[in-house]
Amino acid sequence: MIKRLDAEHKPTRDPAKPKVIVTLIHGTFAQRAAWVCNESALRARLESAFGDHVAFPQFTWSGDNTVYARIDAGHELAEHIKTIRAAHPEARHIFIAHSHGGNVALYALRHLREDANVVGLACIATPFLHANLRDIRIFDGKTLRRSFFGLLFMGLYLMTWAFRPTEVPLIAAFIVNVAILIIAAVVSAVLGGFLADSIERLREVASALAEAIDCRLDPSTNLFIVRKVGDEASLALGGGQLFFWATSKAFAHLAIKGSRLFKSAFTGRPLPKAIRALWCIALAEFVALIGGRLISVFLGVPPTKFDALVDAVSDSALVKFNFDLVILTILATMVVKFTLFETWLFGATLLGLAGAASLGNFAFGTTPSLGIDEERGSFSRWLAGTLLALLIEINTEATPAGRWVIRQFEPTDDDRRADSNVLVHSAYGDPVVIENLIQWLAASTDLRDERVDHAS
């Protein structure tokens, strides 16, 4: 059990000269987080355990959900530690960070020398960021133009089909389809070229940003990783990563395979006899229609009577079924023999990739802030941020790269209650987690024998 030592056994020391300085680092959107304040359960328990041996200088950062805010906060934390170091040169430093505060702490360690005397870092529910530059060869101009063409052609065609009038003359339908092809070709050429040029110009920026985001850590670092089963933030980030992975892999596969995607299965083989027979039926129906019109003109049959005859024949169920079957056969043949389906797939995967990049921009915050990029407007900065999210593959994992030990804790009874407002992600308030942090801090700073309380 826990008991307090008698007064004569308490080490006497100057409270103005703490042995250990603990910096509590809040996460995203938590600039006023209660757990870093004096009255929090974690801080109160640490003070109860170690008394005047530890001090808690306040550190806050913006808490903005952007990679730039976290990188800047890493610089600020490093300067904060250097300032304290000047006043307490012999004190050892401990970081206890929650969520993205752990990434802030890792960034700060890059700017601190070994003599900064940071002896331990505890990360509670931290999504460690791993970043690298994608293979941008898949975003060449040809691939992007084809993707935009597939997207625009499919979208415009479906739009005209959905809002088409009840009766459309054949020549009008032909003109509309030709117009769709021309519009899709021109717009896709412009957009594809613009996007390819923008990606090329952002390549160096994306490479530097990926290196800055990636959480590399010295293997000798005393890292204490705390996680709880069912962490909501990890579940949300994992779902977004899965969506981005699926769309990027599909787009890359199409970009690499190109027009050879279905070549071995369809394009290089002759059409089956059944499909060729249906083509013959379609041709016969077309010839009969045109021939009938010419014969009616030659015989002097009024056009209204001929149209009435055609309508009567077309209304029969057998002819309608045959006509629909022929149309489907023509479309299927175009799909597998003329790479139309591949072009549609390019458009669909580009749409999915754009959605995934926008989601990545929102989740990780790659849009440059106004202070970083003052020359561009809001939309231009958002577009640049989305393209950066597209070019940089960002993954969140339970640990940084390397071999690390994770302490995984079960949810408490309060966490499991259906009406509970406590997030599993807020593990800093869990008494079991707090006691494990105290034990780790004591071992990391050699304060085992100087604890105000101890287990007997």
Asked whether the whole model's pTM tops 0.85, one would answer no
Residue range 436-444: average pLDDT?
94
Q: Where exactly does CATH 3.40.50.1820 map onto the chain? A: 2-125+426-455
Confidence of residue 333 (pLDDT cuts 50, 70, 90): low
| Beta-strand pair 128-133/54-55 | unpaired
The encoded tokens of residue 118 equal 């940071």
**pLDDT score of 219 more than 50:** yes
Round to whole Å and give the CA distance between 69 and 316: 69
Predicted pLDDT at 11: 42
β-sheet with 20-25: strand ranges across: 54-55, 20-25, 92-98, 118-124, 223-228, 406-409
Residue range 96-118: average pLDDT?
94
Question: Who contacts 187 (Cβ-Cβ below 8 Å, separation ≥6)?
Answer: 148, 152
Model confidence pLDDT, tens digit, residues 145-169? 989 998 998 888 778 777 766 666 6
Question: Who contacts 85 (Cβ-Cβ below 8 Å, separation ≥6)?
Answer: 91, 93, 116, 117
DSSP string covering 334-388: HHHHSSHHHHHHHHHHHHHHHHHHHHHHHHHT-SPPTTT--SS-HHHHHHHHHHH
Q: SS3 letters for 29-98?
A: CCCCCHHHCCCCHHHHHHHHHHHHHEECCCCCCCCCCCHHHHHHHHHHHHHHHHHHHHHCCCCEEEEEEE
Confidence of residue 255 (pLDDT cuts 50, 70, 90): confident
Model confidence pLDDT, tens digit, residues 70-80? 999 999 999 99
**pLDDT score of 193 more than 90:** yes
Amino acid at 69: A
Beta strands in 116-233 (DSSP E): 118-124, 128-133, 223-228
Predicted pLDDT at 259: 53
- Closest-CA residue to 121 (of 101, 141, 147): 101
CATH class for the domain made up of 2-125+426-455? alpha beta
- Closest-CA residue to 292 (of 275, 314, 276): 314
What b/e sequence results for 207-235 when a residue is b if at least 16 CB atoms lie within 10 Å of its CB, and e otherwise? Answer: eebbeebbbebeeebebbbbbbeebebbe
